[in-house]
Amino acid sequence: MAKQVPSMDEWLREAKADESAKNVGMYLTHNGVVRSSAKAKVRGGQRDTLPVVGMEFSYNQEQVDALIEETYQMEGIYYIKVWLNEGKLEVGDDIMFVLIGGDIRPHVIDALQYLVGRIKNECVVEKEAY
């Protein structure tokens, strides 16, 4: 069963009220969503894939927490919040939200790309259903 989706508006209010906010010049968010195109098609270039109707999604929280701590070590990063869904998801359902706050745009963009990429490649299991 999927988890309750957080409010990005609330997340941003919390982030701007955090003591780190005085150092932050930019917040950047990522919202990953279940799509109908198979991963093999969009990432692997396969043309003859069936449409995705959903997925089974799980993750390792300890690995995610370790990656968040690593990302905090990146230059100019002061605020991170991550939410991952779980269970049986349908096309259009939210998979993940990530919010990163940092001093300048290049630092925040790099950190978001780093964290989301590592979570997707190392911490989650996505089993597409066709």
What's the CA gap between 76 and 100, in Å, rounded?
Answer: 11
The tokens of 127 are what? 């089993």
Give a yes or no: residue 117 inside a domain.
yes
Domain encompassing residue 82: 8-129
Give a yes or no: residue 1 inside a domain.
no
pLDDT higher than 90, residue 11: yes
Give a yes or no: residue 2 inside a domain.
no
| Domain count across the chain | 1
Which of 89, 82, 90, 93 is CA-nearest to residue 118?
A: 82
pLDDT digits (tens, 9 = 90+) for 101-120: 999 999 999 999 999 999 99
CATH number of the domain that residue 34 is part of: 3.90.1170.40
96 contacts 32 by C-beta, under 8 angstroms: yes
- The predicted model scores a pTM of 0.93
Give a yes or no: residue 102 inside a domain.
yes
Side-by-side strand order, sheet with 87-90: 87-90, 54-59, 124-129
| Partner residues linked to 32 by β-bridges | 96
Give a yes or no: residue 3 inside a domain.
no
Question: Where does the pLDDT of residue 1 fall: very low under 50, low under 70, confident under 90, or very high at 90 and above?
Answer: low
Give a yes or no: residue 24 inside a domain.
yes
